[in-house]
Chain A
């Protein structure tokens, strides 16, 4: 086989593997969310289709695939159809740079963090387009809210990650993980790192449009917000992308703050293949944290959401960066 063809075949294979991970993770997370919600709400949750309901979301997905795709009459058909792909492709692309383990890392670029921040802002275009082109006023309000929300919280996501880049000294995700061999960055950077972690989780939840920042969908205010007019598989794309984005935010947090694939205190250093397990475990603890937010907190109002970002998170973040810079400069980091 000529080298070029082999390269392309390899790329396609890797892409297919990631597509598989993507859909399995999405389906699994939907089930986890429903079971966790049920646990919070004195219910049992889906437990009939397959073992402990493991096939429930698959059945739901089949239902969504077989559903008619409806839309409004005077919708802008081209943009309306395009919007879900923006959302899902940005989520998929962000997934490619996640370091599942030392070996299991499809795209280890030296600007990994920057790439993640950049890619995650593409998703909002899809939401804006979807809301705008639906020819529905509720969807339009949802899209406008999404615009203000994502643009504001992008800053906090970026700045809190930047704080951690100061201490790790690299934008490359694998390098960031390697730095943490002597202790997780959240420990190394102590107080500023903890603050950065909290800000990252808050703004990350806002980035994914999840409660308590789900003003974009806000079903009690706007019906379903930007995806009011979407049905069938197109709706499923938005739905799936939300869960994948949650996974990505949790994965970034696990990588940057909690040592990614590294085992705690190096207990399984002799078994490197366990890296994936540790990575996923850390990610799911953080995913659970985000689910906990969702099923406990009421929703913020749109102006309060902006107040929180511009009056509290952003100034705290800026001060935090300076504090972190001082800590790195004075060499006050905690190393084991």
Chain B
């Protein structure tokens, strides 16, 4: 006998879940990321990231380009850590060729890499504040980032897509002002991070908005392949600089910033801590840049011996891996980037479900997405 269904009062008032498109043009997604949200009132039931709006097939283009050209393409992935991306490709080529680059190059690469990390975190801090509705952070973050960009501009002529690295060393030697300006910046920035804390970190509204929001457990961080500050905030020690030091990072002492909370506040604090650590790395190296060449000469056409090569570096967002299969020609047979943003984005649905729309924005801010890094 078929069950009789009678409409009751509760049925007709049943609330309904609905879809909402967050992006590709939405202020909180910082680029062309589209999130398909399933929400019930304010509560998020499901988040589906939809990628591909800024896919430029960089990996495929690499199969056509020479190794020197590939370096330039990596700027366009995670544009906020462009120097570190360049470094990854240069390191993989140098290791494959067995090139020993001068100490000077290693130290300069590390200094600029750490400055890049600070610049990226400055921008992140500003934008995070803006996502939470505090506009002033944006300008404070940009003020300090601007100083780093000016140093870069003087050093290599570019502010964002630097292309300062080439396989075998650096494109140019550092500018005579470099050391002085970096020292000045370090002194300046040491007074500014406490200002950041004063404005936002201690604010009760900020604490309420971030504490206990979007908790990512250590197990989940590992199984989703999260890396960088996102994973370290969950207590997963994964700093490539610590475990597989490259360039001059084996000569400096620094502590990996770890937190165990796994929530938005922990991710925030890890990044603030990282700025201090990066400053200390820069301080340790800036006074002892060894003399020497800024470049060792390579063949005009670099051909890697046939084989597979892998190099990973720690960008501002996490672990960037470059995997090259060479068949001995001037271009790689296949090249794959393991970008930190892609893996970090994948945790979003897991940690955002059940929270409010406002929380989702806060979570996305601390995952620190750079969309071209995810899409490549």
Which residues does A use to contact B, with CB under 8 Å? 37, 40-43, 137-138, 141, 144-145, 211-212, 214-215, 218-223, 295-304
Contacts and interface: CB of A to CB of B under 8 A. Distances in A.
B142 to A, nearest CB: 9
Residue among A42, A212, A299 with max Cβ neighbours from chain B (10 Å): A299
Q: Is the interface of B mostly helix, strand, loop or mixed?
A: helix
Given A137-B20, A220-B131, A220-B361, A296 B136 contact: yes
9 contacts: A41-B138, A141-B42, A215-B358, A220-B27, A298-B203, A298-B206, A299-B134, A302-B356, A302-B358
B228 interface: no
B136 A221 contact: no
B14 interface: no
Contacts of B139: 41-43
A221 B135 contact: no
Contacts of A299: 132-134, 205, 209, 358
Size bracket, chain B contacts: 20 to 34
- A-B pairs, top 8 by smallest CB distance, nearest first, are A299-B133, A41-B139, A298-B132, A301-B358, A298-B134, A220-B131, A220-B28, A137-B20
A304 B362 CA distance: 14
B175 interface: no
Contacts of A211: 133-134
Residue among B42, B133, B138, B206 with max Cβ neighbours from chain A (10 Å): B133
A296 B133 CA distance: 9
Contacts of A137: 18, 20
B209 A301 contact: yes
Contacts of A301: 208-209, 356, 358-359
B357 A221 contact: yes
B167 interface: no
Contact of B133 (A37, A41, A298, A303): A298
A245 to B, nearest CB: 19
A42 B140 contact: yes
B296 interface: no
A295 B130 CA distance: 10
Contact of B199 (A141, A296, A302): A296
A209 to B, nearest CB: 12
B133 A214 contact: yes
A214 B28 CA distance: 16
Given A296-B136, A298-B129, 9 more contacts: A42-B143, A144-B41, A211-B133, A297-B133, A297-B134, A298-B133, A299-B132, A299-B133, A299-B209
A237 B234 CA distance: 47
Interface in B244-289: none
A223 B42 contact: no
Residue among B136, B140, B356 with max Cβ neighbours from chain A (10 Å): B136
Interface string B200-221: 1001011011000000000000
Given A300-B205, A303-B356, A41 B361 contact: no
B208 A220 contact: no
Given A299-B358, A302-B356, A41 B135 contact: yes
A212 B205 contact: yes
Nearest to A303: B356
B26 interface: yes
A300 B209 contact: yes
Interface in B1-60: 18, 20, 26-28, 41-42
Q: Is the interface of A mostly helix, strand, loop or mixed?
A: helix
Nearest to B357: A221
Contacts of B140: 41-42
Contacts of B133: 211-212, 214, 218, 220, 297-299
B174 to A, nearest CB: 29
B358 A295 contact: no
Nearest to B134: A298
A131 to B, nearest CB: 14
Nearest to A144: B41
A299 B200 CA distance: 11
Given A42-B139, A297-B205, A298-B206, A221 B28 contact: yes
A50 B134 CA distance: 30
B136 A220 contact: no
Contact of A304 (B134, B208, B357): B208
B200 A298 contact: yes
Nearest to B139: A41
A299 B136 CA distance: 12
Contacts of A37: 135
A261 B206 CA distance: 38
Given A43-B139, A138-B20, A221 B199 contact: no
Nearest to B25: A223
Interface string B142-157: 0100000000000000
A204 to B, nearest CB: 17
Contacts of B356: 301-303
Contacts of A40: 136
A304 B205 CA distance: 9
A42 B143 CA distance: 8
B86 to A, nearest CB: 31
A137 B21 CA distance: 9
Contacts of A214: 133
Interface in B48-103: none
B131 to A, nearest CB: 5
B97 to A, nearest CB: 47
Contact of B136 (A145, A215, A295): A295
A241 to B, nearest CB: 20
Contacts of B27: 219-220, 223
B53 to A, nearest CB: 17
A138 B27 CA distance: 13
Contacts of B28: 220-221
A212 B129 CA distance: 12
Nearest to A211: B133
B356 to A, nearest CB: 6
A47 B208 CA distance: 38
A215 B209 CA distance: 13
B42 A302 contact: yes
Contacts of B206: 298
Contacts of A302: 42, 356, 358
A220 B130 contact: yes
A33 B209 CA distance: 26
Contacts of A141: 20, 42, 357
Interface string B343-373: 0000000000000111111000000000000
